Amino acid sequence: MRLHREGYTIMLVTGLVLLVLNLLAYFYLFSDNTIAIVLLTVASLVLFTLIVQFFRIPNRALTQHDTQVIAPADGTVVVIEETEETEYFKERRRQVSIFMSPLNVHVNLNPVSGVVRYFRYFPGKYLVAWHPKSSTENERTTIVIQANNGTEILFRQIAGAVARRIRWYVKEGQSVEQGQEMGFIKFGSRVDVYLPLNAEVKVAIGDRMKGGVTVLAELL
């Protein structure tokens, strides 16, 4: 396991603040109250551990296959439905949405290998990630990758009520590899994937995803 670069500043600042707070408590605020010092120390360690685990990147054997769409994020499948995709395809697509809780790994990965044909960033609201309008009104990115077999896959990084920092590392015209890092969402949100209607979805609502490992769908 390693830690993601997006967390370096947050971890450093948080660690320093907690260290100063605990030193002040030990020497001045609670110098005669051992229980208070112990409780503050434990709480500080728990908080710092939660922040560090948020930026973890586990070592995984990635799934790579030209006809498979791989989960671009860790989390739980909360939506599988046929819907109208109005931004790029402007036609019916099969939507699969993955909700990322604050306890999930939050690096985002390319679901297929190919070429980025479309990228847009949209500032917006910060509705809770499961709100029906979060896909179209929240801060978000839209990325379309044309897979090696010619099929185009669209996916969106969507900010939520807590997650207000979307990062992306791709641009139009760039060649990308399946399982390669494409971005990061800080502190929980969701990723939507739009598949062709003839794609065979391999997951069900409530299934837990492992980014870069779980097969979302088979392209026909």
> Could you list the pLDDT tens digit for every one of the 220 residues in the chain?
788 788 788 889 999 999 999 998 888 888 778 888 889 899 999 999 888 888 888 889 999 999 999 999 999 999 999 999 999 999 999 999 999 888 888 899 999 999 999 999 988 665 555 555 556 567 889 999 999 999 999 999 998 655 557 889 999 999 999 999 999 987 668 899 999 999 999 999 999 999 999 999 999 8
pTM of the model: 0.84
Contact partners, residue 52, CB within 8 Å, separation at least 6: 3, 7, 11
Q: Span 68-218: which CATH code?
A: 2.70.70.10
What pLDDT score was predicted for residue 136?
59
Burial 89-105 (b: 16+ CB within 10 A, else e): eeeebbbbbbbbebebb
In 3D, which of 116, 128, 204 has the Cα closest to residue 159?
Answer: 128
At residue 161's C-alpha, the angle toward residues 156 and 165, to 5°, is 60
d(CA 133, CA 150) in angstroms, rounded, equals 30
Tokens representing 72 are 């671009």
What pLDDT score was predicted for residue 131?
53
d(CA 210, CA 45) in angstroms, rounded, equals 27
What pLDDT score was predicted for residue 166?
86
Residue boundaries of the structural domains of the chain: 2-57, 68-218
**Number of other residues whose CB lies within 10 A of the CB of residue 178:** 23
Is 31 assigned a catalytic role? Answer: no
Tell me the residue type at 179.
G
d(CA 95, CA 199) in angstroms, rounded, equals 11
Question: Virtual CA dihedral for 69, 73, 78, 79, nearest 10 degrees?
Answer: -40
d(CA 15, CA 4) in angstroms, rounded, equals 16
Strand order in the sheet with 200-201: 68-70, 215-218, 200-201
What pLDDT score was predicted for residue 130?
54
What pLDDT score was predicted for residue 105?
86
